[in-house]
Structure 1
Amino acid sequence: MTESNNEDKAGPGIANYPQLSDLIFNNTSNNSFNKVLGELKRSTLSIPNRLRSIKQDANFVSEVASAYGLPLVANERCGSWYIHPEQKKQSAYFKSTDGHMAQWSFSLRRLNLQVLETIGRSDGCIIVDSTRRGKSMPDALSKTIPIWTTVMNRILFPDHPDSHEVTTPPTVVGASEHTQIAARIAGFVESLKTLELDIPSIRQKITKPLRPIWVTPTSSLPESPPNFPSFHPVVLLTASSRISGSESTSETGYVQGAADDAEAWAQGLTAPLFWKHSETLSNTPEDMIEEVIAELVKKGDGNQGSQLTPIGPGKRVAIGTIDAAETDAGAKDIVITVASKENEVLRSKMETEYLHLTLVDGKVGSRQLRHSLPNLIAWVKAQLSATSASRIVVADTNGKDQGVGIALAILCLFVTDDGNIRSSEEVKDPPNGLNKQTIKQKLSWISVAKPDANPSRTTLQSVNAYLLG
């Protein structure tokens, strides 16, 4: 009787079906479900899966190098992971952000002129990069580098108008975006002209205009290296296979763009360390991988550069790491280091010709730099008055950021356009007669000589604030 009454209230047979409350997860169930999904994603994006995926992609990169017979250039920082060190001929620094929608740009800080040398020597090159999140190729390859090749063609080959139109991959860049990019090229060319680079010298590095060719894991490769008589091919190689959907991993554990954002997952492992110990890492159980990486990072790769990089036509300023300054700075140099601690070796070696600037890494130290520059510049003036220094050496922990900012200030204040050091009487504090164009030109000296120099926006803001007052 009870069952019959229930049926009468709910309708025939309804009592046997799930109710609405049964179908909706409560908060506890939702939290458990999300936790399981998070753990699953972390396991598929594990370090062993990433390293296996990188080696798989690196094998494809080697195939492309053989098919085209061209040298491999890594677009840093990601590209170096996909190239065995024995095959890597050069580094490039093209930012994907310069190819983002409505942000298309030509970087005056990253001219990548060193790539032209590689192209000229080998009649072309292959630039390697990758991307994640289901994209078929990174914006650096689809837009940033095509912008660069077009600007270089217009500057270096004004009598080859057929090479002056920007080329982008139509399957990636739509017609509207392509048109908007093309409209900006002339402005980029004019901006580059303001740096007053030695164009004839650059032109000697290559003999033909540049043209991009895009290759992905879905591309058909030539059976033998092709010949391109009318242009230097710049093969833009996307190393990783595309995974459909929004995730970066496949069911097999393959990770698209596995090397991307290495700071977030690699535990301090670098591309050189990875290749040096790839067999060890491949044979390490997953539950021990972080411990093994920590030990490798602690030992280091023992491959740090030991030379400083001279800047400008007169080579009177040099930049680099503090380690390089220890071995390369000479008796006639004056040395400035910037780090959290003073270097005892340089203090003993250089005596009064040494100044240490105590700044922490990152934005905080870069902001402090603005307030430290007046005293630093005054010290340099005093040194140049009291000694016949042959060089001004500036070094920091990685040779790329705060030390580069200090070197830029010194170049603007103490070094003439032809590379000679001004007398201390000519240098005014606060500075006068400087403008943004002068700063850009001296910064281009640094980017040409040391392409991996990468002063942060905060560092450059501090330098500009001091110089422009």
Structure 2
Amino acid sequence: MGNVSNSDFPVSVSSLHFPSTEQLSVSQTLASLRRSALSVTNRLRSIEADAAFVREVADHYGLPLVANERCGSWYISPETKTGSAYFKSTDGHTGQWDFSFRRLNLQILPIAREHGGCVIVDSTRRGKLMPDALSKTIPIWCAVFNRVLFPSDTAYHSVELPPNYLGASEESQIEQRIDSFVHSLKSLKLDLDDLRQQLGKPIRVAWANRTYFHPTDLCIGKDYHLFVLCSASKRVHGAEISEGGYIQGAGDDSEAWAHGLTPPVFWAHKSTLLARAEEDLPEIIEKLMQEHRKQGTGHQATRIAPTRNLYISQTSPDSTGSGLYDLIIDCNGNPEATGENTKRLNLGCPSSKQGGRDLRNHLDKVREFVSSQLGRDPTQSLLVMCESGKDLSAGTLLSVLCSFYSDAGEFVEPRMDQVIGKQFIRQRLAWIVSSKHDVNPSRSTLQSINAFLMQRPDY
């Protein structure tokens, strides 16, 4: 063995060489690879591939495309999109099966009647064949409406569920809940004859995904309308890095990855976005979204039937200054900005989740404003708006409908002995949901409304 001098050994800790400080660990390397696999570019290319499958399904059945928002719109180009639905996967979660009275989805009834059915498009992230909205929420909804609107057509009353997908116990428990949902829907006092006319025939359900079409022989029929529940994405069992850049459910949770990009802007500029480098996309998306916002023409207000003078909309320059409405309540507007204007009420609620809780503190002002203004002239139009047009404005209008409007949609002064219960509130909420299908008041907003309305009135 040769001589080794002291200079061949490190003489201090700082001179020691630790490779781990200069090289990524295995977990860091895998995390980096996963981030690369989940790039915006890979997401957009995956969406494009899945959208091609969706078009094939629509062509196969000869039915129009309806997006289950928000995910479904990524997979449908705007020129081929006939409508939107709002079915929540959480209403299909095991043990939580539910029928949403905040999302009645009545807007798809006339679409089905006109075309003989529709293809409802959604997707889900890695590991599942389809989202719970397609496997359970929509089948529950179809069974409820079949029973309510076509009580004598018993052949369509059972819940149709995907083959060999759920356990027998879960299928049985879902079936057992349908009658209670039917009872609750009837209690909303909707015009069932009108809804029956809008739909025309009972609904049958089919599924289309990359694994199977079921039932394989089902098509548009003369005795029923066909709802095809299409899961757009290919099922991925392993990690994304094993799929060569393909991402299952790439359109899901877009707030976390899209840098503000929306489906309409993606489809309008798809070639540009897919041709650019990943690091350039955030800046390009921001520019495209700015251009899109400049082209916007404002948000059209929706009248809440059966009233003739109550409207709801998202806040926009058009709705704030056009003079189209006699009275305005802006849920997010600065209270100090109204000055001496007695025809406008700004509540000053924050746009965050706190807004729903804060609304409770302003409902007395809403009641006083409506009582003094509409009490003097009930023919005046009233527009209620908020930043989203779906949450605080819906809650505020709900308080107005419950406090001041009769079953016929006419303005009436509240009675001193008026008692408002949850069922009455639910009936009035159905007016809003039936008129503007994308409203979605948060739990905190509805809790504020319930707490305010169910206390004994003090006029």
| TM-score, normalised via structure 2 length | 0.89
Between 388-397 and 132-141, report the one with greater CA deviation.
Answer: 388-397
* 1:372 and 2:337 are equivalent in the alignment: no
1:146, 1:200 → 2: CA distance? 22
Aligned to 1:257: 249
CA offset digits 1:255-274 (Å, max 9, x no partner): 00000000111111111111
Closer, same or farther: CA 408–295 of 1 in aligned 2, 3 Å: same
Shift of 1:173: 1.6
Aligned to 2:97: 104
Amino acid at match of 2:192: I
Aligned to 1:273: 265
CA RMSD of aligned residues (A): 2.6
Residue number among 305, 317, 330 corresponding to 2:324 in the alignment: 330
Question: Does the CA contact (< 8 Å) of 2:34 and 2:240 recur in 1?
Answer: no
Residue number among 99, 102, 109 corresponding to 1:116 in the alignment: 109
Closer, same or farther: CA 388–444 of 1 in aligned 2, 3 Å: closer
* 1:354 and 2:348 are equivalent in the alignment: no
Aligned to 1:188: 181
Shift of 1:251: 2.7
2:215, 2:51 → 1: CA distance? 18
Question: Does the CA contact (< 8 Å) of 2:201 and 2:225 recur in 1?
Answer: yes
Shift of 1:305: 5.0
Amino acid at match of 1:279: S
* 1:166 and 2:156 are equivalent in the alignment: no
Aligned to 2:286: 294
Aligned to 1:9: none
Aligned to 1:231: 224
Question: Does the CA contact (< 8 Å) of 1:243 and 1:250 recur in 2?
Answer: no
Amino acid at match of 1:110: R
2:94, 2:350 → 1: CA distance? 35
- Corresponding residue SS for 1:267: coil
Question: 5+ residue gaps in structure 2?
Answer: 1-18
| TM-score, normalised via structure 1 length | 0.88
Question: Does the CA contact (< 8 Å) of 1:334 and 1:389 recur in 2?
Answer: no
Shift of 1:286: 1.0
CA offset digits 1:405-454 (Å, max 9, x no partner): 1011001111111000113xx355xx841110110001001111111011
Closer, same or farther: CA 318–340 of 1 in aligned 2, 3 Å: closer
Aligned to 2:274: 282
After TM superposition, the runs of 4+ consecutive aligned structure 1 residues lying more than 6 A away are: 26-31, 221-225
Closer, same or farther: CA 421–249 of 1 in aligned 2, 3 Å: farther
Closer, same or farther: CA 29–458 of 1 in aligned 2, 3 Å: farther
CA offset digits 1:381-419 (Å, max 9, x no partner): 111234454222101112111111101100111111100
Aligned-residue sequence identity (percent) comes to 46
Aligned to 2:428: 442
1:173, 1:222 → 2: CA distance? 16
Between 257-266 and 303-312, report the one with greater CA deviation.
Answer: 303-312
CA offset digits 1:359-379 (Å, max 9, x no partner): 111221211110111122112
* 1:406 and 2:396 are equivalent in the alignment: yes
Aligned to 1:6: none
- Corresponding residue SS for 2:29: helix
- Corresponding residue SS for 1:125: strand
- Corresponding residue SS for 2:447: helix
1:30, 1:174 → 2: CA distance? 48
1:309, 1:186 → 2: CA distance? 33
1:122, 1:351 → 2: CA distance? 49
1:88, 1:196 → 2: CA distance? 31
Aligned to 1:153: 146
Amino acid at match of 1:218: T
Closer, same or farther: CA 343–418 of 1 in aligned 2, 3 Å: farther
Closer, same or farther: CA 30–438 of 1 in aligned 2, 3 Å: farther
Shift of 1:230: 2.4
Residue number among 375, 379, 383 corresponding to 1:385 in the alignment: 375
CA offset digits 1:265-314 (Å, max 9, x no partner): 11111111111111110111111111111222233343455321111212
Shift of 1:225: 9.8
* 1:175 and 2:168 are equivalent in the alignment: yes
> How many residues of Structure 1 are paired with residues of Structure 2 in the alignment?
437
Question: Does the CA contact (< 8 Å) of 1:99 and 1:139 recur in 2?
Answer: yes
2:233, 2:87 → 1: CA distance? 18
Shift of 1:223: 11
1:244, 1:32 → 2: CA distance? 25
2:252, 2:220 → 1: CA distance? 33
Aligned to 2:14: none
Amino acid at match of 1:398: S
- Corresponding residue SS for 1:339: coil
Question: Does the CA contact (< 8 Å) of 2:47 and 2:74 recur in 1?
Answer: yes
